[in-house]
Amino acid sequence: MEKVIRILEDGILDGLIKKQNRPLNSQNVADALQKYNLKKSAIQKGLDTLADSGQISFKEYGKQKIYLARQDQFKILNSQEIEQMKKANSQLQAEFDGQKKAIGELESEIRALQSNLTLEEIRSKQAILQAEVFGAEEKLKKLRDGVILVKPEDRMLTEQTFGDMMNHWRKRKRIFKDFWDVITENLPRDVKEFKDELGIEYDEDVGVSLQSYTELTNSTISSNLGSLR
């Protein structure tokens, strides 16, 4: 009760009602005054006290009471004052937009600066690149000197494995196509939508092409035959 008396005497409760100047129930007021650790029942008593003394207005809707600041205590603006307030609001909005744009530009500059490498990071990256260049030069030197980097039998095994995988790919692609054509032949809906719904992806959807790998195989065979001549 002491807390209720204090917020009444300090004008905290009445001040909140005036500041909000909109219909409020006891729960709205309790939420706004959480920092005072007041129970809803205490808030209700305070509101009823203000209403009984005529400091605020209230309406009853069933079991609920709605409280509102007395409107006769507020100055009613004329059309000229309203127009001035609109102009002031437009000016403030323009200033706000300008500040928002400036903040956005500063944030972009900060992100750009953060994305730049530090001197230590540059030196570390330089060392890594130099090591990669050195390794590439050593490999190139071996190639120029005619050193065999891959044994012929290992190369043949790799090419054979690659060819087997290509045959499996081609066979499964053909099986799927035959199966898919049967399913979608008389499908009463869009085939693409049905495919997307099932989560099916064609080779082209993931950026691969059987033809390109076939050409790679053919070029490798031609190269090997050329080296045997």
- Give mean pLDDT, residues 148-161: 81
Q: How far apart are CA 71 and CA 91, in angstroms?
A: 28
- Give mean pLDDT, residues 146-172: 83
DSSP letter string, 151-202: -HHHHHHHHHHHHHHHHHHHHHHHHHHHHHHHHHTT-SS-HHHHHHHHT---
Q: How far apart are CA 6 and CA 92, in angstroms?
A: 37
Q: How far apart are CA 25 and CA 112, in angstroms?
A: 50
Whether the CB-CB separation of 4 and 38 falls below 8 Å is answered with yes
Say yes or no to pLDDT of 228 above 50.
no
Q: How far apart are CA 110 and CA 103, in angstroms?
A: 10
β-partners of residue 60 are 65
Say yes or no to pLDDT of 221 above 70.
no
* CA contacts within 13 A on the Cβ side of 136: 6
Q: How far apart are CA 229 and CA 172, in angstroms?
A: 36
Percent of the chain with pLDDT over 70: 89
Closest Cα partner for 43 from 90, 68, 7, 84? 7
Would you state the structure tokens that stand for residue 193, as one six-digit string? Answer: 């939508």
Q: How far apart are CA 145 and CA 147, in angstroms?
A: 6
Q: How far apart are CA 114 and CA 118, in angstroms?
A: 9
β-partners of residue 59 are 66
Q: Under DSSP, is residue 22 helix (H, G, I), strand (E, B) or coil?
A: coil
Q: How far apart are CA 169 and CA 163, in angstroms?
A: 10
Q: Under DSSP, is residue 31 helix (H, G, I), strand (E, B) or coil?
A: helix
Which range among 33-42, 162-171, 215-224 shows the weakest confidence by mean pLDDT? 215-224
Higher pLDDT, 54 or 12: 54
Say yes or no to pLDDT of 140 above 70.
yes
Count H helices and E strands in the chain, helices first. 9, 2
CATH class name, domain 2-73: mainly alpha
Say yes or no to pLDDT of 225 above 60.
no
Closest Cα partner for 7 from 121, 227, 34, 224? 34
pLDDT tens profile 47-85: 888 888 888 888 988 888 999 888 887 777 788 888 888
Higher pLDDT, 215 or 51: 51
Q: Where are the domains of the chain?
A: 2-73, 150-228
